[in-house]
Structure 1
C-alpha cells in the first residue's frame, strides 16, 4: 500500500485522533457543572396575566448533582384591602371673632370685676357711714337741744339774781321780753336793789324734766323764793326756738 502524502497524512491523523480519543462523561458533567456554578442563578418571572404559567425558580446544582433543581413557586402573601370610610363631608363652621385679645381681654375682665366689687364695697361703706351719721346727728341733736334749754333756764336764773337787764331781754320773747324792754335801766337798777335786799326774787333749785316738740319746749323745774328756800314748788317754763336760740317766753310768777 502506498503511503499518503504529507497533507493527507495530517488530515487522516486528525480524523483518527478525533474518532479514537475516548470522552469521559463524568468530566463532561463536571465541566458543565463548573459553568453553571460560575453563572448566577437566573430568575424567570412569569407573566402578569392570570392565566399564565406560575413562575419557576431554578438554582445552580451542586458539583455532585446530576441536574438543575427546580424550586416550586410560593404564593405571595395576601394583600390587606382597606375599605374606604363613608363619612359625612366636613361643613365649614363660622368662628366668632375674639373680643379682648386673649390674655389682655381676660385681664381687662378681671379688672372690671375688681372695680365693680370695689364700687359696691365703697357704696355699702358710704351707706353705713351715712346711716351712722344720721343716727348720731339725731341723737346728738336731741341731746344738744335739751342742753340748750337747760342752759337758757340757768342763764335766766343767774340774770334774775344779778339784775342783768340786758341778758334778760336777750333770752326772753313775747310778753315776757316786753316787760323787761319797757323798764328804764335806772329804775330797774333801783327796783332790783330793793328786791334783792328783801330776797323777793325767785330761784331755780333744779331742772327736773325737759320736753322738746319741734320749736317749742317745756321744762318742769323746782323753784323757791330766796327768802324761803325750804318752801319749794314745781314751776314750768315755756320756751321757743328763735334766732337759733331757745328763749323763755313765759317766766314763772314769783
Structure 2
C-alpha cells in the first residue's frame, strides 16, 4: 500500500514544515546580453555579528550627583583691567594731585604772608625803638646818640654843636624843663625805606598840655633814623 504522502515516481518531498533555504546569501547577477563569458557570482560580505546584551543586565546610568559643578576662577592680578576702570583711577590721581598742589600753594602763601607780616612788625618796632631812643637822648643830653640816630637837617643841627656849648645849653634847658617828652607813639606807617610816626608829646614843665607831633624817618646804614621832627 503506497504512502499517500509519497509523490509519484518514488521521490519524497522535503519536509513541508522545514523553512525554505535562504538563497539570498548567494546572489546571482546575470550580465546583460551582449557580453561574452559565463555568469559570475559575487559573494556578499558577511556582516559582523551584532553584540547581544544579556537580558536583565543593568544599564550604566550617570550619577547626577557626581556631575562637575561650575567653578569660579578668581581674577588674576596681572589680568588687564577694563578701560573704564583705568579712566576712573586716572581721574582720582589727577584730583589728588590738584588738591596737593592747592594745599602746597596755600601753605606757601601763608608762610610768605607770615614772613611779610613779621617783617613789617619788626620794622615798625625798630621805628618805635628809634623814637624812644631819641626821646631819652633829649632828656639826658646825649649828643653822640642824637647824632647817630638822626639824618638830614636834624642831624646837622646836632653836628654844629660843640660838646661844651651843648653841655651848657642842655643844663639851662633841663633846669627850666623846656624840653619835649614823648608820651605815646600812636601810629607808625612803614613804606619801603621810609616811615612816618605820629606821637603825643608834652613839655616837661607842662605835662597836662598834650600835643601831636610827627616824625619822618628813613632807613639808612642798616637802621632807622629821624630826619625831621615837627
Q: TM-score range by the shorter chain?
A: 0.5 to 0.7
Report deviation, 1:203: 0.5
Report deviation, 1:204: 0.6
- Alpha-carbon distance in 2 for matches of 1:222, 1:211: 16
Is the partner of 1:32 in helix, strand or coil? coil
The alignment status of 1:181 with 2:159, answered yes or no, reads yes
The answer to whether the 8 A contact 2:187-2:197 is kept is yes
The answer to whether the 8 A contact 2:146-2:155 is kept is yes
Report deviation, 1:238: 1.5
The alignment status of 1:219 with 2:207, answered yes or no, reads no
The structure with more radius of gyration:
1
Count the aligned residue pairs.
174
Which segment is superposed worse, 136-145 or 150-159? 136-145
Gaps of 5+ in 2: 7-11, 28-77
- Alpha-carbon distance in 2 for matches of 1:165, 1:241: 20
Q: Summarize deviations over 1:150-189 as a string: whole Å, max 9, x none.
A: 2221221122222233322222111111222333345434
- Alpha-carbon distance in 1 for matches of 2:82, 2:166: 87
Is the partner of 1:230 in helix, strand or coil? strand
Summarize the alignment of residues 173-252 of structure 1 with structure 2, pairs less than 5 Å apart.
Answer: 173-252=151-230
The alignment status of 1:21 with 2:2, answered yes or no, reads yes
- Alpha-carbon distance in 1 for matches of 2:116, 2:173: 43
Matched with 1:151 is 129
Report deviation, 1:209: 2.8
Is the partner of 1:235 in helix, strand or coil? strand
Is the partner of 1:21 in helix, strand or coil? coil
- Alpha-carbon distance in 1 for matches of 2:193, 2:206: 35
Which segment is superposed worse, 238-247 or 114-123? 114-123
Aligned in 2, Cα 1:41/1:167: closer, same or farther, shift over 3 Å?
farther
- Alpha-carbon distance in 2 for matches of 1:191, 1:29: 188
Report deviation, 1:127: 1.9
Is the partner of 1:240 in helix, strand or coil? strand
- Alpha-carbon distance in 2 for matches of 1:166, 1:40: 158
More helix by share: 1
Matched with 1:36 is 19
Taking structure 1 as the reference length, the TM-score comes to 0.53
The answer to whether the 8 A contact 2:179-2:204 is kept is yes
Root mean square deviation, CA, Å: 4.0
Gaps of 5+ in 1: 1-19, 46-100
Is the partner of 2:16 in helix, strand or coil? helix
Q: Summarize deviations over 1:117-143 as a string: whole Å, max 9, x none.
A: 454333222222233234434444444
- Alpha-carbon distance in 2 for matches of 1:191, 1:238: 25
